[in-house]
């Protein structure tokens, strides 16, 4: 059997009409209905009709959780199972659900609160840098207060996060092929999220986590883990900690993984993995048509 990892994208991968084809599948339609009862609004309505709301953190994260988790469940119904799971930022919640750390509705309730808290954490900014001098970047970040490396995505792509002034200072001092401000409400994955993280930590601490049935590579620590307490502590650190996706990618072959399946809209993660770790079979399941027969 080919050792396989399933990976789940986070905010930024959402797209209008994502998941709408799943409504024709009765088990998936039931999950959409269940989600509406938990959220108080319709995921399918927003995914189909409201691009503006879909791009707002409070709605983006629950929509992605619902669509990605349904695709993963349909894949499991086809008899497939991963040997390892990982997710990028919000995607880590779907990974933990698939690993059996918490049930589906608990995961959605956590994501709902996380999204609301993050959506209200205004005042910072994030920017993606493409093709840059990493050594120079690390030096400038260490010399500039109020900015951090938020997402270490691949050797050639990172995201920095902090106050607008500090982010602009880094952009002006580090030559990059492209520097793109991200459409987010705050400085996610930085110390500027400390108050939001503290509020969310109280919610996480009250939530029961189970031992994972499948090892999980976490954003703040790429070493695969199944211990419930360790996975919870890693998740508590996630809102202010860096997303170490480049290291997660490098760990995949080291853990014997031969194939990676990205489950969810777009192909961001398979693209990042391709640029970081060689020799892996990469697949995408973005919608129902890409599920195996």
In the set 89, 190, 218, 242, the catalytic residue is 89
Q: Rounded to two decimals, what is the model's pTM?
A: 0.97
CB 117 within 8 A of CB 200: yes
At 293 the pLDDT is: 85
Give the Cα-Cα-Cα angle 248, 254, 260 (nearest 5 degrees).
60
- Winning range, highest mean pLDDT, from 113-127, 142-156, 172-186: 142-156
Looking at the chain, which residues constitute the CATH 3.30.70.250 domain(s)? 125-181
pLDDT digit string, tens, across residues 65-115: 999 999 999 999 999 999 999 999 999 999 999 999 999 999 999 999 999
The answer to whether residue 89 is catalytic is: yes
Res 185: pLDDT:
81
Q: What pLDDT score was predicted for residue 1?
A: 85
**Phi and psi at residue 150, to the nearest 5°:** -85, -45
Indicate the class that CATH gives domain 4-120+191-290: alpha beta
Q: What is the pLDDT of residues 5-46, one digit of tens each?
A: 999 999 999 999 999 999 999 999 999 999 999 999 999 999
**Beta bridge partner(s), residue 176:** 132
Residue 65 CA to residue 68 CA, distance in Å, equals: 5
Under CATH, which number does the domain 125-181 receive?
3.30.70.250
pLDDT of residue 184: 84
Residues of the chain with CATH 3.40.366.10: 4-120+191-290
Active site residue 189: yes
**Nearest-CA neighbor of 65 among 24, 30, 100, 107?**
107
pLDDT of residue 183: 83
The one catalytic residue among 88, 154, 161, 189:
189
Tens-digit pLDDT profile for residues 106-142: 999 999 999 999 999 878 999 999 999 999 999 999 9
């Amino acid at each position: 059997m080919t050792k396989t990892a399933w990976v789940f994208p986070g905010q930024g991968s959402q797209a209008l009409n994502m998941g709408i084809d799943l409504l024709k599948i009765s088990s998936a339609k039931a999950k959409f209905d269940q989600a509406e009862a938990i959220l108080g609004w319709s995921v399918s309505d927003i995914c189909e009709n409201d691009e503006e709301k879909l791009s707002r953190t409070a709605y983006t994260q629950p929509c992605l959780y619902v669509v990605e988790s349904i695709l993963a469940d349909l894949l499991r119904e086809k008899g497939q199972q991963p040997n390892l799971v990982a997710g990028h930022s919000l995607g880590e919640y779907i990974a933990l659900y698939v690993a059996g750390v918490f049930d589906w509705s608990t995961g959605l309730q956590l994501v709902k609160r996380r999204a609301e808290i993050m959506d209200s954490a205004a005042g910072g900014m994030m920017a993606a840098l493409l093709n840059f001098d990493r050594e120079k970047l690390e030096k400038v970040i260490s010399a500039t207060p109020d900015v951090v490396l938020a997402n270490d995505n691949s050797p050639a792509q990172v995201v920095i996060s902090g106050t607008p002034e500090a982010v602009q200072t880094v952009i002006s001092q580090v030559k990059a092929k492209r520097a793109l401000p991200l459409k987010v409400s705050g400085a996610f994955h930085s110390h500027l999220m400390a108050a939001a993280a503290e509020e969310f930590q109280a919610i996480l601490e009250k939530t029961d986590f189970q031992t994972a049935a499948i090892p999980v590579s976490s954003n703040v620590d790429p070493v695969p883990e199944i211990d419930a307490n360790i996975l919870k502590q890693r998740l508590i650190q996630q809102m202010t900690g860096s997303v170490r996706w480049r290291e997660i990618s490098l760990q995949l072959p080291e853990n014997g993984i031969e194939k990676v399946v990205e489950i969810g809209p777009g192909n961001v993660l398979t693209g990042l993995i391709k640029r970081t770790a060689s020799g892996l079979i990469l697949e995408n399941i973005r919608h129902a048509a890409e599920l195996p027969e």
